[in-house]
Amino acid sequence: MRNLLALVGLVVVGAAGLGWYLGWYKLDVTRTSDGNLQINTTVDTKKAETDSAAFFKNASSLIGSQIEKSGPGTPPQGTPGGTPGPKDAGTAVNPLAPPAPAPKDGNAPIKLIAPK
């Protein structure tokens, strides 16, 4: 829960910093005649709208170019299409059958026993 709150705080601080950097809003801090601080905020909504629209337009064109580059019918990279299966894929294994005899060269097959 604490990590989620930290993430939300990071997003809020990041968005505030980005908005200030891009000029979406301005803060003016002045001291009044009686010594109190006065904070005035000016928000440029048109600039924020145009900047965000340009960002989403560039992002969509970048994603579209990546999709076109990969092609519509090409399979994803690393598909296991050529991976060989078991040697006797068509035959069923009988768990009650006796084990196969050991080969004559001395390399006995490893028998795995399921836990009870």
Length, in residues, of the chain: 116
Instruction: Report d(CA 59, CA 69) in Å as an integer.
Output: 15
pLDDT of residue 98: 73
Interatomic CA distance for residues 27 and 32, integer angstroms: 16
Residues 51-107 have pLDDT tens digits of 999 999 999 999 988 888 876 665 556 556 666 656 555 556 666 777 666 666 666
Q: Which residue has the higher pLDDT, 103 or 10?
A: 10
Tell me: pLDDT of 3 over 90. Answer: yes
Nearest residue to 99 (alpha-carbon basis) of 91, 108, 88, 87: 108
Q: Within a domain: residue 5?
A: no
For the chain, the domain total comes to: 1
Q: How many Å apart are CA 111 and CA 96, to the nearest integer?
A: 13
Residue 36 lies in domain: 25-69
SS3 labels along 57-73: HHHHHHHHHHHHHHCCC
**Contact indicator for 38, 29 with CB cutoff of 8 Å:** yes
8 has pLDDT over 60: yes
What's the confidence (pLDDT) of residue 29? Answer: 92
Q: For residue 110, what are its two tokens? A: 């490893």
74 occurs within a structural domain: no
In a domain, 40, yes or no: yes
Q: Is residue 113 part of a domain?
A: no
Triad 21, 24, 27: Cα angle to 5°: 80
Residue 91 lies in a domain: no
